[in-house]
Copies of this chain bind each other. A is one copy, B any other.
Amino acid sequence: MTTSRSTYHHGELRQAVLAAALDVIATDGPGALSLRDLARRAGVSHAAPAHHFKDRTGLLTAIAAQGYALLAADLAGTARLRERGVRYVRFAVEHPAHFQVMFQPELLRADDPDLLAAKERASAELRAGVADLRDVPDARTAGIAAWSLAHGFATLLLTHNVDGALGDRDPEEYFRSLTGLLFSQQLTTEGE
């Protein structure tokens, strides 16, 4: 960041803008994003970022694509379904800006090739995780159930809706105990 800057070209503007954007989004959400502000932070003119991302939507689409790529890589690290869920939650905690943007389609260019490719890779990893299940008649629905659980917990986590229940415990560990509760069918004793 504190490199040359005496030259006309920035050299790493794309990365600089991306990093600054992630900072802003993680703190104040995508709505607080301003291309001109990002340009100021990078020490370039107000129109410089446009050359790398076309427009605001382009920047957010690039972030989402990067997010899906990161998520796919994270998920690929293990074969066990529950551990994949833990990694899904960890991804949301470690990359909150990516996570937010990935799941707000209105912010993105839906037909962007990079985005589609990265999303497909992450989706494939998600599906592969269900292969870990045995003797499940409807594996696809089971996969949606697992995804819903992890995604819901991650979302509630980032929106500070489980701060109280969490206390000072580690989110990942809490999610493990949470899945343990489900998988040990203690929830099956529903009343009525």
Contact = CB atoms under 8 A, between A and B. Distances in A.
B149 A145 contact: yes
Contact of A160 (B29, B105, B177, B190): B105
Given A132-B190, A133-B189, A159-B104, A181 B80 contact: no
Interface string A20-45: 00000000111110000000000000
Interface stretch (A8-16, A47-55, A69-77, A150-158): A150-158
* Identical chains in the assembly: 2
A141 B184 CA distance: 13
A159 B80 CA distance: 26
Interface residues of A, number: 59
Where chain A touches its partner, the secondary structure class is helix
Interface of A: 28-32, 79-82, 103-107, 132-138, 140-156, 159-162, 165, 174, 177-179, 181-192
A130 to B, nearest CB: 10
A155 B144 contact: no
